[in-house]
Amino acid sequence: MESMKSTHHVMVFVSFIGILLAYQCMAQPPEASTTLASELDALIQDYAYRAFVHPHTGIPYDGQVPSNLTGIKIAAVRLRSGSLRRWGVSSYKEFEIPIGVIVQPYVERLVLVYHNLGNWSALYYPLPGFTYLTPVLGLLAYDAANLSATNLPELDFVASKSPISINFSNVTPVPSDLVAKCVWFDLDGMPHFRDLVSSNVCSTYRQGHFSIVVNSTEIPPSPAPSIPPGPRHGHGKSSSKVWKIVGGAVGGLIGLLLLALLVVWLHRYRQSRKVAEMEHRAEFGETLNMARIGNTQAPVALGTRTQPVLENEYVA
């Protein structure tokens, strides 16, 4: 009975560990990653607006992100809606905005906030099955009426004539037989894939976040790294360290589980041996010597417990 209870406790422990590991290894649901990206957009809007110390219309200002987001680059430029529609913006970081951009709802002035997520791209915009060849770049529009405002909603703007061009630099090379794709993440975080305009240029008619990706399953494994890791590999190193820690913790839990199973098995083995010895003694008792009587073997006692006494010895 005691061994059955121990086994039951071990099975409950195993089930608990399995549920815990499954929960930890579960990928973030789309709602969680979308919320994370939206929170980052709001934070970047706040810090980008802080760059407008003495703002001038049409001049981009680089902003600074908090130290815990080092690697992300941001900028902001204030424009008149009418001038944006009539003249566009020939060069704003990697973006080239043509004439004919319509902003809704209409505001007199707007701010275009630029994002370069660098090695944080895959964290805020996970894309299972694909590898990023460039950092994720973002372009979002906000009302410029109050440059001290925070948590502003994005304005909707549409390129009504020709598309906005995104000229990516430092695209990671891939084998020539693979086909790279542009990916556009809308304001809901949903990815949309399109063909490249050229080897490093994507186009869009709307705001959002953009990058160039390739199907990860089509990339052959590299036998050994030949290119020293650059800044974009920083997050990969952090992920590797995290996985090592998680692997060590899982290994430790598995080791404890195996040790617990071994202790239970030894306990049950000793109990079964004791029961077997008791049954053996009860069944066979003491061993008697055998002697031949005629043509047969018969058990013979080693001796008698009391010596026989004749009845007449008690007669006076």
User: What is the separation, in whole angstroms, between the first and last Cα of the chain?
Assistant: 65
Q: What is the pLDDT of residues 212-222, one digit of tens each?
A: 999 988 766 65
Comparing 213 with 235, the larger pLDDT belongs to 213
Nearest Cα neighbor of 38 from 119, 135, 152, 114 is: 152
Whether the predicted pLDDT of 7 surpasses 80: no
Q: What is the pTM of this model?
A: 0.61
Q: Where are the domains of the chain?
A: 28-220
Q: What is the pLDDT of residues 125-154, one digit of tens each?
A: 999 999 999 999 999 999 999 999 999 999
CATH 2.60.220 fits 28-220, yes or no: yes
Q: Where are the alpha helices (DSSP H) in the chain?
A: 2-25, 30-49, 81-87, 121-124, 234-284
With a CB cutoff of 8 Å and minimum separation 6, the contacts of 204 are 159, 163, 164, 166, 184, 210
Cis bond upstream, residue 105 (ω within 30): yes
Burial of 316 (0-12, 13-18, 19+ CB in 10 A): exposed
Whether residue 68 contacts residue 95, with contact meaning beta carbons closer than 8 Å, is answered with no
**What does the DSSP 8-state code read for residue 232?**
G
Task: Report the share of the chain in percent with pLDDT over 90.
Answer: 53
